[in-house]
Structure 1
Amino acid sequence: MGIFNSIISRSSDKRTMPPHESHLDILVVGAGLSGLATAISCAMSGHTVVVLEQAKELAEVGAGLQITPNASRLFSHWKLPEKLWKDAAEPTSLTVHRYTGEILAHEASFDQNIRAKYSAPFIDLHRVDLQQALYARAQELGVTFHLDERVDSIDFDTTTVTTLKGKPLSGDLIVGADGLWSRCRECFYGKKDDPIPTGDLAYRIVLTADQISDPELRAWVENPTVHFWIGPGAHAVGYSLRGGKMLNIVLLVPDDLPPGVSRQAGSVEEMMRLFVGWDPILTKFLTYVNGVDKWRLMHHSEMQSWINDKSNLVFIGDACHPMLPYLAQGANSSLEDGAVLGSLLSHLKRKSDLPHILRLYEKMRKSRGEAIVRETFKQRNDFHMPDGPEQQKRDQVFLSQLGKDLKGAFPSRWTCPEVQPWLYGYDAIKEVEKVVGQNPELLFGKSARL
């Protein structure tokens, strides 16, 4: 169909293509993490994939990402470049501090404990390193990219996307992976659909170890750990990147940006004033900051469906379940989405089964994605409590289990024995195998993987 007829796979891999009646031409809108994950997963399933991205280049921008086992386990499955693991930092401990510095929770041997429980690591990465690894793998698999192309309209009768430059691209399925400000979502609804402020904003900071002259602070960077500071109406998180050569700090504070502004240059002095009286370790790190941006944290209300009536548009990632960064699951759940959709499509027997496959994807992913969104708001509540009786009760729960094996609900979901297994124990590939086993009519033999 359309542009896809002229595409010859550039992949050097020998992979089995599904039978012609089940082969799809897939158009992925967006080359963020969710779009790249989808492109890789669908290409590994033997389908032809074209990615449309509004940026002129996949530039080296961004900050840190915390990749939890539910996503890191996918990297080996996708055969991402070995360099990615060398670019990672694996934290050896996780600590929650009261904003003044007092330790409320501490898990030593965090790296070993996570690997033992989930057979996959918890790693901290620079977003650029992950994006470039995904991009390289997608290209290796023969995925075609069209950069500097923004969606103008979608004709659902012909499954055709037309860009602002007037370029039409047609296929069998459109994947809306274009994030919080999704144009695909607006085409789906037939109206403007701006995201809603959450009431919080983020200062995102990246420092290099070479910038930091204080030997105590430099040791924090070079020996990867994760630290949270939780205080009235705000919290901070810091962790190492690139094997201890960089430090990522995120400050989550009340939103004071003007209406209609989602990002703005911030004032270092204003930022510093917000953290007067906080742990001297944190505030010393902030003295090394030369400039900073303020990012409004936004979300959307839940969508009734992630699939259109014609079953030729499906949503993924922030386009359908944007979430606060308070559990670091925005990127991780987007990677899960891509893995599930692509793996399900490896079991497509005939194109007429596509609606069924998409409904299975929605059934598998929608309830989980939206439950994580709700959990992030609960985490904000527990990390942003004003000083007072509720905060004192929270701290007592923390301190009563300090140095012990955690039991029951816990104010930090990062180590909570009820929430952590649900988040980190998820295995997208196994979940697909389980669902396909329950829907045997989809099977046409072994899935076409590399």
Structure 2
Amino acid sequence: MIPEKARLRVVIVGAGLSGIATAISAALSGHSVQVIEQAQELAEVGAGLQITPNASRLLKYWQLPATLWEAAAEPTKLTVHRYSGQVLAHDDTFNQGIRAKYHAPFVDLHRVDLQQALFARAKDLGVTFHLGQRIEGLDFDTTTVHSVSGERYTGDLIIAADGLWSQCREAFEGKKDAPLPTGDLAYRIVLTADQITDPDLKALVENPEVHFWIGPGAHAVGYSLRGGQMYNIVLLVPDNLPPGVSRQAGSVDEMKELFAEWDPILNKFLTYVTTANVDKWKLMHRGEMERWVNDKSNLVFIGDSCHPMLPYLAQGANSSLEDGAVLGLLLGQMRDKAQLPRILRLYESLRKSRGDAIVRETFKQRHDFHMQNGEEQKKRDEIFLSQLGKEIKGAFPSRWTCPEVQPWLYGYDAVKEVEKAVAQHPNLFSTQAESALASL
């Protein structure tokens, strides 16, 4: 445990996945943590999340309750289809291979289940939550967050975990910086097993697998949640939402028309969709930030506030959990508050290059999944089909099973990365470590 003189008062802005994960990690390291959240309650709107081994190992490390794993679905197979239904890639032992390679599972969870489990663990660790508090501004001279209601939250460190529309980022940059549209939107759909009467579809739901359908300018993904009691479908299509509108109820007829020529299995699932369970979300992004830490070293960014990710590799939540783990673990190495600037710079050096690289990789996956029909698409499909039923070698159009990209994503171990960094910079955590900054 850190000495009392190194104990920080940490103020986290945002109680999404990244904010609560960081709260847990920082609290486990011995710091005093409070979280400010504008929502009145933590019943986050959302649907499914694919939690890959780089993050699932953290959930076990943080000792989240057993109920979380009971609410998970572990897919046994992963299949990529041409939009017509033709199988392009298939891993028949996906779960076994993942566990063997990464010693952690790939699981599909409902976002609310994960958020509630993180929330419960954070409260057990003594984290204080201030809900219903919209922030109005940051004072970097006093390390204070001001809320619209007039409350002030002062500490030693402010952690910006306020997502894509981050007000902390605006305060840091000193200007309005709205996210940019990507040209795509997502239909997010959740069905219950009870809604589905077709026996073949019900079997797909109750026996968890992951299915992708890829086509011109769009793709779809479907997977089970809650142990096979729910089915999550995400349809990624060209954006037709009005400017300035980031979310609205989806039109079932419009959605079905977009996918009318696609795989009959996908279309059968869509017959169960009603206006009550479909929303359209505009997919937005931001450019890379030059820095994640301010000059005073009392503001640091994590998650979507600094590297928002498109859903094409399902790494937004996973990467945010990595950020929180690394930052909290590094803060656990403190012996004096004077070390904070050095530790934040080490965090930035460990996380920024990976976060930015994952963002770039998601755009590459979008390109490979959304190819228009033509010569490039035919060459892509030739690569797929040449390896169907075989051990995949070399670069592969689906990074979910690519032997080059998958280990880089899923093999990342935040705990070991911090241990390695600490071992490589032994002087960094001493009280006479100013010269060590030059090595970062």
Give TM-score, length-normalised by structure 2.
0.96
Partner residue of 1:239 out of 208, 220, 223: 223
Show the 5 A alignment for 1:335-350: 335-350=321-336
The alignment status of 1:394 with 2:380, answered yes or no, reads yes
1:163-212: per-residue Cα shift (whole Å, max 9, x none)? 01110110000000000000111111111111100110000000000000
CA deviation map 1:347-373 (0-9, x unaligned): 012111101000000000000000000
Q: Is the 8 A contact 1:347 1:442 kept in 2?
A: no
Helix, strand or coil for the counterpart of 1:293?
A: strand
- Residues 348 and 442 of structure 1 are in contact (CA less than 8 Å); yes or no, is this contact kept in structure 2? no
| SS across alignment from 2:383 | helix
TM-score by structure 1 length? 0.94
- Equivalent residue in structure 2 for 1:83, among 67, 72, 88: 67
Task: Name the SS of the counterpart of 1:437 in structure 2.
Answer: helix
Trace 1:30-41 onto structure 2 (pairs within 5 A): 30-41=14-25
1:349 and 1:442 in contact (8 A); partners too: no
How well do the aligned residues superpose, as a CA RMSD in angstroms? 0.8
Q: Percent identity?
A: 74
Q: Is the 8 A contact 2:8 2:32 kept in 1?
A: yes
The alignment status of 1:50 with 2:34, answered yes or no, reads yes
Contact conserved, 2:19 with 2:161, CA < 8 A, in 1? yes
CA distance in 2, matches of 1:149, 1:192: 21
Aligned with 1:295 (options 281, 306, 315):
281
Cα distance in 1 for residues equivalent to 2:135 and 2:167: 7
Of 340, 347, 350, 1:364 maps to: 350
The match for 2:105 is 121
Letter in 2 for 1:386: Q
SS at match of 1:296: strand
Q: 1:140, 1:438 → 2: CA distance?
A: 33
In the alignment, is residue 412 of structure 1 matched against residue 415 of structure 2? no
Q: How does 1:229-268 map to 2 (within 5 A)?
A: 229-268=213-252
Structure 2 gap segments, 5+ residues each: 431-440
Opposite residue 246 of structure 1, the aligned amino acid is M
C-alpha distance in 2, partners of 1:405/1:216? 29
Once the two structures are superposed, residues 64-117 of structure 1 have per-residue CA deviations (whole angstroms, 9 ceiling, x without a partner) of 000000000001110100111110000000000000000000001100100000
1:311 aligns with 2:297: yes
Find 1:274's aligned residue among 248, 253, 258: 258
- Structure 1 segment 38-187 matched on structure 2, within 5 A: 38-187=22-171
Match of 1:320 in 2: 306
Letter in 1 for 2:283: L
Name the amino acid aligned to 1:430.
Answer: K
CA separation in 1, counterparts of 2:330 and 2:149?
33
The correspondence of residues 190-201 of structure 1 with structure 2, limited to 5 A, is: 190-201=174-185
Kept after mapping to 1: 8 A contact 2:136/2:146 = yes
Q: Is this contact kept in 1: 2:13–2:19, CA < 8 A?
A: yes
Deviates more, 1:169-178 or 1:58-67: 58-67
Q: For the residues of structure 2 that align with 1:90 and 1:375, how far apart are their CA atoms?
A: 24
Distance 1:443 1:311, change over 3 A: closer
Cα distance in 2, alignment partners of residues 92 and 206 from structure 1? 20
- Report the secondary structure of 1:62's partner residue: coil
| Structure 1 segments unaligned to the other structure (5+ residues) | 1-15, 445-450
**Displaced runs of 4+ in structure 1, greater than 4 A?**
none
Aligned length: 428
Counterpart Cα distance in 1 of 2:184 and 2:45: 22
> Which residue, 351, 354, 364 being the options, matches 2:337?
351
